[in-house]
Structure 1
Amino acid sequence: MTEAATGDRAHGWLEHYPVTFFAVLMGLFGVTLAFHAAAPSYLWAEPFALGALWISLAAFVLISAIYLLKALRHPRAVAAEWHHPVKLAFFPTISISLLLMATALAGPYPGIAGPVWVAGMLGQGVLTVAVISGWISHRSFQVGHLTPAWFIPAVGNVIVPVAGVQLGWVEVSWLFFSAGMIFWVVLLTLVFNRLIFHDPIPGRLFPTMVILIAPPAVAFVAYMRLTGGVDPAARMLVNMAYVFAALVLVQLPKLRTLPFALSWWALSFPLAALSIASFGYGRAIGSPAHEVIGLIVLGALVLVVAGLAFRTLLAATRGEICRPE
Structure 2
Amino acid sequence: MEIPNSPPKTQPPIHEISISKNNNLLVPILTKIHAGYFRITLSLGWQALLWKILLQPNQEHSNFSFQVPKLLYFTILTTIWAFSILILILLSILYTLKCIFCFKLIKAEFMHHVGVNYLFAPWISWLLILESAPFVTPKHVSFIILWWIFAVPVVILDVKIYGQWFTKGKKKVLTAVANPASQLSVVGNLVGSRAAAKMGWNEVSVFLFSLGMVHYLVLFVTLYQRLSGGDRLPAMLRPVFFLFFAAPSVASLAWYSISGSFDTGSKMLFFLSLFLFASLICRPALFKKAMKRFNIAWWAYSYPITMLALAATRYAQEVKGGVPHAIRLSLSALSVLVLLCLLVFTAFNPRLLLPDDDPTLVTTTTLPTNASLSTAASRAAIDGGLTV
Give the alignment's TM-score, normalised by structure 2.
0.76
2:307 match: 273
1:37 match: 53
1:124 match: 154
Alignment map for 1:1-325 (pairs within 5 Å): 7-8=23-24, 10-39=26-55, 40-42=62-64, 43=68, 46=73, 47-105=75-133, 107-110=134-137, 111=140, 112-136=142-166, 137-138=168-169, 140-141=171-172, 145-194=177-226, 199=231, 201-258=233-290, 259-318=293-352, 320-321=354-355, 324-325=384-385
Tell whether the 8 Å contact from 2:123 to 2:151 is kept in structure 1 after alignment: yes
- More divergent stretch after superposition (184-193 vs 49-58): 49-58
The amino acid that maps onto 1:109 is V
What's the offset of the Cα at 1:316?
3.2
Larger radius of gyration: 2
What's the offset of the Cα at 1:272?
0.9
What's the offset of the Cα at 1:8?
4.6
Task: Provide, for residues 251-287 of structure 1, a one-character-per-residue CA deviation record: whole Å limited to 9, x for no partner.
Answer: 2354344233322221111111111111111111223
Structure 2, gaps ≥5 residues long: 1-19, 56-61, 357-379
2:374 match: none
Task: Provide, for residues 92-119 of structure 1, a one-character-per-residue CA deviation record: whole Å limited to 9, x for no partner.
Answer: 11221122122112x5322443322221
Write out the 4+ residue segments of structure 1 that deviate beyond 4 Å after TM superposition. 141-145, 195-198
Secondary structure at the counterpart of residue 135 of structure 2: coil
The amino acid that maps onto 1:27 is S
Q: Distance in 2 between matches of 1:94 and 1:215?
A: 17
Q: Distance in 1 between matches of 2:310 and 2:303?
A: 11
The amino acid that maps onto 2:332 is L
Count of aligned pairs between the two proteins: 321
Instruction: Considering fraction of residues, name the structure with more helix.
Output: 1
Q: Distance in 2 between matches of 1:139 and 1:312?
A: 39
Tell whether the 8 Å contact from 1:223 to 1:234 is kept in structure 2 after alignment: yes
The amino acid that maps onto 1:68 is T
Task: Provide, for residues 186-241 of structure 1, a one-character-per-residue CA deviation record: whole Å limited to 9, x for no partner.
Answer: 00001112289973742111101111111111111111111112332222111111
The amino acid that maps onto 1:79 is K
Secondary structure at the counterpart of residue 199 of structure 1: helix
Q: Distance in 2 between matches of 1:21 and 1:177?
A: 26
Secondary structure at the counterpart of residue 181 of structure 2: helix
Q: Distance in 2 between matches of 1:76 and 1:315?
A: 29
Tell whether the 8 Å contact from 1:161 to 1:174 is kept in structure 2 after alignment: yes
Tell whether the 8 Å contact from 1:38 to 1:295 is kept in structure 2 after alignment: no
Q: Distance in 2 between matches of 1:197 and 1:121?
A: 27
- More divergent stretch after superposition (86-95 vs 250-259): 250-259
Q: Distance in 2 between matches of 1:197 and 1:57?
A: 32
Q: Distance in 2 between matches of 1:197 and 1:51?
A: 38
Q: Distance in 2 between matches of 1:196 and 1:97?
A: 27
What's the offset of the Cα at 1:89?
0.9
